[in-house]
Chain A
Amino acid sequence: MRRMAETRRLLDEARGGDRAALDELFGRHRGRLYAFTRSAMGGASRGSVAAEDVLQETLLEASRKLGSFEDRGPSSFYRWLVAIARFKVREADRARRAGKRAIESPLGDDPAARDTSPSGRAMRRERAEILRDALAALPGEQGEAVRLRYLEALPVADVAARIGKSEGAVKALVARGLASLAENREDSG
């Protein structure tokens, strides 16, 4: 049983300084945003914690700038996060090219908790990582459509304009792209 979210309430509470609400709000987007970060960082992030750091840095920045977020519709909060993440990815790229340490220490990540995860859980987590990478590497129009529509939360019409297809075709591309991920996972898992 899942209850429907009260996103706006969370947002308002978070803006009022409620940490728990902020955590909850971020929690609802974190996984997808992480997938976006990995996809935006491309191969550079493989095998490193860089994507996770960028994600943390993104959320930290978002929490600082929460006051300047303008609510422009249901998906606007996530798109705002994506915009920050994109900026942070670029920042990290620049820093990496300059040979500097990429990112300051992240929000309260608890390293101890990592080690205490049961192995099954860790495995599932690993599978999620693989999935996210597969998502980032989905080829062709399908991959493009999935990333724009799902990871960047662009409206279908915008995606359609971007890749020069009809809206129906975009929906079908996205559906097929995600379905192919699901199939691959079943094959391997």
Chain B
Amino acid sequence: MSESLEDVQDRVLDALHAGELPDREALLAAHPEHADALARFLDLLAEIETTPRAADRPPARLGEFRILREIGRGGMGVVYEAEQPSLRRRVALKVLPPALAHDPRVLARFRREAEAAGRLRHPNIVPVFSVGESGGVPFFAMELVEGRSLAEVIRERAAGGGSPMPPDAWRRWAAEIAARVADALHAAHAERILHRDVKPANVILDPSGTPRLTDFGLAADLAAPGLTMTGETFGTPLYMSPEQALRREAPLDPRTDVYSLGVTLYELLTLRSPYDATTTPEILSALQQGLLVAPRKLDPAFPEALERVVLRAMGRAPDDRYATAAAFAEDLRNWLAGRPVEAPAAGPPRSARPERAASHPTAHPQATRRVRLRVALAASVMALVFVGVLWLGPHEPREGLVLGGGPITAKELRALIDGTDPEGVATLHAWVDPQVRLRGVVARDELGSYRVDLGTGFTDPDPLPGVPALVIARFEAQAEGVPVRDLGFAYAVILDDGVILSRGPEVRLADVLGHAKQRASVVVTHRAKIRIVARPPTLLPSMPPSPEQLTRAWESAGGTACSWQETRTLLVFDEAPSGHPEFATGPDVDPGMLEVLSPTRFHDVHVSSRGESGGDRRISVMFDGMGAPGPVPAVFEVHLLDPDTGLVLARATWVRDARDEDREDEVRHAACLRFAIEDGGSGRDAGTLVGLANNSAETVTLRFVPSRRLAFETTDFEQIWGRELHLVVPSKGARDDGRRTEAKVVPYDPPKTLRLRDLAKEGAPGGVAAIGRMVTPRVGLRRVVSRRSPGSYEIAIVLDTGGVPVDGDTVFLALWEIRVDAGPWRPIEYVVCGVGPGGGSGVSGAMPLERSLGAALSSPSVEVLHRLTVKVAPRPQRLAAGFCGVESYVTPQPEWAEAAGPAWMWDSGPVTLLVYDDFPDDYPEAVRSDELDAQIRTSLAPTSGGACRIGPGRVLNAPFVFGASPVPLACEVDLVADDGSVVGTATYTQPSGDGPTARTVSLDFVLAEPAAAAEQRLLLDLAKGGAIQVKLRFRPSRDVARRLTAFDRYWNGTVTVPVSIGGM
């Protein structure tokens, strides 16, 4: 495939325009015939593209090292030649580029690399002398090796230059080199360090001809798994082992390096790549299928034994390869010494035998199907990583996982992945439970939002095996009288083992409900389409994918995975409840609402007994009214309690039946629970159980318990479900009537709003200690946030019991939720937990804000809304009696949720943090917003966006620019003339989507008729062409806007705008 120099150069320009750095080596290797001209061309471009900015120039010194020149630059760092005066030696300094030095992941990798490499001492490994940091720039110093890399040697020989070694001698030399590199790798492996990026460019031949392995840039400590779980893929796919390139579930081991060295040796011997492939997807496909070209196909004179050694090292499965790099080295030396080689003649059963590999690409049908799917997945993953590779070849990247066709269960999906599925294509029907949870009620003036939980809702519990997936749901909603609107995406990132790593943002309903505000309630119809795609490595778990990324992943996923539809009723309130966005059950909410939302009625209780000893006795309870129209958790537990002792007699787990989705009207709000009565109870519970089993009349209590933290968080479990029902189990006589017996239900009526001070009252719920008096908790911000280093809060909350001693068996559990609203709105919530002993002591916790501030660092300030839930609960056993330290932080435990019920909600209101460029010497405590200096205030306020223009139809168009403060959903803007009279009014409404994107807004003001005096003057002036000014005055149109956007502080002012004549 020969291409003209002009075409190659043109593609390089395209790559540069796309922001890609051309891979010099790969280019030169791919076009040896143009190598010289291409090298000159690349040099020239590199020089022109040299950035003129000071920050990218190298520092003069780093620590004790004096920098002399830049040697090279890779994705992970810049390498300088430097001098170490104390030892009078030259070294190579590897430094993180400043742009990356702020990324903690990159920093961690860099340090790991340095530490790993620093431990290695081997004649064939370029040693690392020291690791340091200077002025925040981490670096390490290694030996400066003069010489050429194997890549250069290969290129030279391929172009016909270099040493005129005859083929035979060349092969012996190559084998010797590879054996020595294998020695080095073995030494690294013994230190539990993988290289992971072995390739010709990383083997340098020093002037004495000794191969030196360098750039442990991708080294991962074998002892520290997990660091590869972030979805990043490094390295050049050409040299990667199949398991590394295709990201199989098994952790990498030394045999991945054996493979890469095998490829390196192959290339050294044959001067070409082992695969007939140019694009990344092709390479991946070839890799997975073992489609390598046997050396003897290329050159019948190639020694057969050496071929076996090379192909053994490049076995497709790790088990097919040499078990260690040392074994590889030994076999190479066997060949060199003329001894028989270990590598089997016919190849091991599953290895890529030369003949077969070359001519029968699909030897194992089953494995191949797995191969295809994996390859397709990996290809879509890799396509995103190696964007830059694609321009080397003319082909488009292959499609990703395509799902379409008939229904599939998890089993079938697995079959598909395992390659036993006959068709190879299926639709994910089993993904039946995307579990949409309504996060809150929707206020008339407020942003409504869904919280969407995309779990692994397969009909059997196996998640997608071995496929790190991105699950995307695209939501549409329709409210009464409002056409279908696209709400956008929700997503979940799922790891190989089915663990949900991160989950997408809330889906906002504001757009839809904007048109439904007049009603007391709206019915919102949802439709979600769900797709599963291979998780692109660009979607790191720590980072919310952008809508663009999701759209791309969505489009590349092809067919529809699952269609699903659900109808919900949302209640619309006039004003956000105080506890927004949680569902508020405070005094603002009609108590009747709680009854509607809570599970209340049981219509059948049936106790059956099977088995002689009572070992298999069950109690069935049929109930309905499952929280209609409130959200129902996917899973929860119901405990059967003895109402007298509060002891748990039996438990049942309710799991939402996937099939309910299809016939939701009949089944949706009813459930049947079966409690297995366990043996082994004693005393009173045994008696109760026996009584129940015998159907003698008993009263029991049902307590609803969230079985997962998720349920707790997403369904307002505490308020709606966290209650107890007293249940009268029918007497024996009732049993004879048959199974359908109406049971009398006595709903337990918990306090609707429980404040701590209520606890002092008589009859406080059991398990909660009495507290005399509650004083408002105080929140103190301990830190301002720094632009440079991760900011964090330390929040001290003092729960003052007013001097009344609290029982020593009581603890406070405080859960904070913090919402950061910064410039571009990216609310992120944190929950932290603090524990305090009774007795009026403080509770404190700290939380990193680093992530949420990613979006806010360009703003001079961020708004932080706190919400605090304080629970008073029996002290868990594990907090031993000696516990009293307020310093210690305790991870929230699931059982604490069980202790829920009484809680006290508190909303501190927004607190403004100032973002500094660096930590001030003595950073102040929270700066109250009224102390903001004028300059910051100005930057937060809206400003003029240029001249306003008057156009036909007596319309005045006035632009303004948002400041850095949050932008209200809607506000009124008055046009004010010189004398203060209002000549026009317009309403600004925030567009739907992820917050305002355009910072400049133009508003049209229709000038009122009849003209007032001021207006007349205004028009007259305009008509005369005189330059005048008008003022824009902002008014909050709603109370919520005022509260959420600190309207009074930043928006409540006027902006003067010059007026110019002109068409609009």
Residues of A at the B interface (CB closer than 8 Å) are 1-10, 12-13, 15-21, 23-25, 27-32, 34-35, 52, 55, 63-64, 67-68, 71, 74-75, 77-79, 108-111, 113-114, 116-118, 120-121, 124-125, 127-129, 131-132, 135, 149-150, 153, 156, 168, 171-172, 174-175, 178-179, 181-182, 185
* Tally of B interface residues using CB under 8 Å: 81
Are B857 and A116 interface neighbours, CB within 8 A? Answer: no
Say yes or no for B59: interface residue by CB 8 A criterion: yes
Are B386 and A4 interface neighbours, CB within 8 A? Answer: yes
Return the contact of B41 from the options A7, A8, A77, A178 (Cβ within 8 A): A178
Bound Cα distance from A122 to B2, whole angstroms: 40
Q: Which B514-548 residues have a C-beta within 8 angstroms of A?
A: 538, 543-546, 548
Say whether, besides A4-B21, A5-B20, A28-B19, A117 and B57 are in contact (CB < 8 Å).
yes
Are A16 and B546 interface neighbours, CB within 8 A? Answer: yes
Q: Which residues of B contact A175 (CB under 8 A)?
A: 5-6, 9-10, 41
Q: Which residues of B contact A109 (CB under 8 A)?
A: 53-55
Bound Cα distance from A79 to B549, whole angstroms: 21
Known: A1-B74, A23-B98, A179-B40. 6 other contacts (CB 8 A): A1-B215, A24-B99, A55-B52, A128-B48, A171-B7, A185-B47
Can you identify 13 A-B contacts, CB atoms within 8 angstroms? A1-B202, A6-B538, A7-B387, A16-B854, A20-B101, A113-B57, A114-B57, A117-B60, A125-B50, A127-B47, A128-B48, A128-B52, A179-B41
Bound Cα distance from A52 to B54, whole angstroms: 11
Say yes or no for B955: interface residue by CB 8 A criterion: no
Are A185 and B52 interface neighbours, CB within 8 A? Answer: no
Q: Which residues of B contact A4 (CB under 8 A)?
A: 20-21, 23, 385-389
Return the contact of B47 from the options A15, A67, A128, A174 (Cβ within 8 A): A128
Bound Cα distance from A142 to B47, whole angstroms: 20
Bound Cα distance from A116 to B40, whole angstroms: 30
Are A113 and B54 interface neighbours, CB within 8 A? Answer: yes
Bound Cα distance from A121 to B59, whole angstroms: 11
Say yes or no for B1048: interface residue by CB 8 A criterion: no
Are A8 and B538 interface neighbours, CB within 8 A? Answer: yes
Say whether, besides A116-B60, A156-B10, A64 and B999 are in contact (CB < 8 Å).
yes
Are B44 and A181 interface neighbours, CB within 8 A? Answer: yes
Say yes or no for B67: interface residue by CB 8 A criterion: yes
Nearest chain A CB to B244's CB is how many angstroms away? 15
Say whether, besides A5-B388, A25-B19, A34-B52, A178 and B538 are in contact (CB < 8 Å).
no
Bound Cα distance from A185 to B5, whole angstroms: 20
Bound Cα distance from A132 to B25, whole angstroms: 25
Bound Cα distance from A27 to B73, whole angstroms: 13
Q: Which residues of A contact B548 (CB under 8 A)?
A: 8, 12, 71
Say yes or no for B43: interface residue by CB 8 A criterion: yes
Q: Which residues of A contact B100 (CB under 8 A)?
A: 20, 24
| B6 nearest CB neighbor, chain A only | A171
| B390 nearest CB neighbor, chain A only | A4
Are B54 and A19 interface neighbours, CB within 8 A? Answer: no
Return the contact of B99 from the options A27, A29, A34, A74 (Cβ within 8 A): A27
Bound Cα distance from A182 to B44, whole angstroms: 6
Bound Cα distance from A171 to B7, whole angstroms: 7
Q: Which residues of B contact A32 (CB under 8 A)?
A: 16, 48-49
Say yes or no for B666: interface residue by CB 8 A criterion: no
Return the contact of A185 from the options B22, B44, B544, B823 (Cβ within 8 A): B44
Are A7 and B20 interface neighbours, CB within 8 A? Answer: yes
Return the contact of A3 from the options B21, B43, B54, B55 (Cβ within 8 A): B21
Say whether, besides A2-B24, A20-B99, A171-B9, A68 and B997 are in contact (CB < 8 Å).
yes
Are A178 and B999 interface neighbours, CB within 8 A? Answer: no
Nearest chain B CB to A57's CB is how many angstroms away? 13
Return the contact of B858 from the options A19, A113, A118 (Cβ within 8 A): A19
Say whether, besides A10-B19, A109-B54, A172 and B74 are in contact (CB < 8 Å).
no
Are A3 and B74 interface neighbours, CB within 8 A? Answer: yes
Q: Which residues of B contact A17 (CB under 8 A)?
A: 822-824, 826, 854-858
Say yes or no for B1064: interface residue by CB 8 A criterion: no
Q: Which residues of A contact B67 (CB under 8 A)?
A: 118
Q: Which residues of A contact B10 (CB under 8 A)?
A: 149, 156, 171, 174-175
| B49 nearest CB neighbor, chain A only | A31
Q: Which residues of B contact A34 (CB under 8 A)?
A: 51-52
Bound Cα distance from A156 to B7, whole angstroms: 11
Q: Which residues of B contact A1 (CB under 8 A)?
A: 23, 25, 72, 74-75, 201-202, 215
Q: Which residues of B contact A114 (CB under 8 A)?
A: 54, 57
Return the contact of B73 from the options A2, A79, A174 (Cβ within 8 A): A2
Nearest chain B CB to A112's CB is how many angstroms away? 8
Q: Which residues of A contact B823 (CB under 8 A)?
A: 17
Interface of A is mostly: helix
| B859 nearest CB neighbor, chain A only | A17
| A78 nearest CB neighbor, chain B only | B17
Return the contact of A174 from the options B13, B48, B384, B388 (Cβ within 8 A): B13
Bound Cα distance from A165 to B99, whole angstroms: 41
| B24 nearest CB neighbor, chain A only | A2
Nearest chain A CB to B173's CB is how many angstroms away? 24
Say yes or no for B272: interface residue by CB 8 A criterion: no
Are B47 and A78 interface neighbours, CB within 8 A? Answer: no
Are A172 and B6 interface neighbours, CB within 8 A? Answer: yes
Bound Cα distance from A27 to B98, whole angstroms: 11
Contact with A along B961-988 (1 / 0, CB 8 A): 0000000000000000000000000000
Say whether, besides A28-B19, A32-B49, A121-B57, A6 and B72 are in contact (CB < 8 Å).
no
Nearest chain A CB to B316's CB is how many angstroms away? 25
Say yes or no for B827: interface residue by CB 8 A criterion: no
Bound Cα distance from A2 to B21, whole angstroms: 7
Bound Cα distance from A149 to B48, whole angstroms: 15
Most chain A beta-carbon neighbours within 10 Å: one of B25, B384, B385, B858 = B858
Are A3 and B75 interface neighbours, CB within 8 A? Answer: yes
Say yes or no for B68: interface residue by CB 8 A criterion: yes
Are A132 and B48 interface neighbours, CB within 8 A? Answer: yes
Say whether, besides A9-B538, A15-B546, A17-B856, A75 and B215 are in contact (CB < 8 Å).
no
Counting from the closest, the 9 A-B pairs by CB-CB distance are: A4-B388, A3-B75, A74-B18, A17-B855, A31-B49, A75-B17, A7-B19, A24-B99, A171-B6
Q: Which residues of B contact A78 (CB under 8 A)?
A: 17-19
Nearest chain B CB to A149's CB is how many angstroms away? 7
Say yes or no for B590: interface residue by CB 8 A criterion: no
Nearest chain B CB to A154's CB is how many angstroms away? 10
Q: Which residues of A contact B6 (CB under 8 A)?
A: 168, 171-172, 174-175
Nearest chain A CB to B39's CB is how many angstroms away? 10
Say yes or no for B659: interface residue by CB 8 A criterion: no
Return the contact of B543 from the options A16, A27, A150, A178 (Cβ within 8 A): A16
Contact with A along B917-930 (1 / 0, CB 8 A): 00000000000000
Bound Cα distance from A77 to B53, whole angstroms: 20
Nearest chain A CB to B204's CB is how many angstroms away? 12
Bound Cα distance from A52 to B52, whole angstroms: 8
Q: Which residues of A contact B19 (CB under 8 A)?
A: 5, 7, 10, 25, 28-29, 74, 77-78
Return the contact of A67 from the options B25, B43, B998 (Cβ within 8 A): B998
Nearest chain A CB to B14's CB is how many angstroms away? 7
Most chain B beta-carbon neighbours within 10 Å: one of A4, A111, A172, A185 = A4
Are B385 and A6 interface neighbours, CB within 8 A? Answer: yes
Are A131 and B56 interface neighbours, CB within 8 A? Answer: no
Bound Cα distance from A6 to B387, whole angstroms: 7
Return the contact of A178 from the options B44, B56, B857 (Cβ within 8 A): B44
Nearest chain A CB to B78's CB is how many angstroms away? 11
Q: Which residues of A contact B103 (CB under 8 A)?
A: 20
Say whether, besides A182-B40, A182-B41, A67 and B999 are in contact (CB < 8 Å).
yes
Q: Which residues of B contact A64 (CB under 8 A)?
A: 999
| B66 nearest CB neighbor, chain A only | A118
Are A135 and B60 interface neighbours, CB within 8 A? Answer: no
Say whether, besides A12-B548, A12-B549, A117-B57, A6 and B49 are in contact (CB < 8 Å).
no
Bound Cα distance from A71 to B547, whole angstroms: 12
Q: Which residues of B contact A179 (CB under 8 A)?
A: 37, 40-41
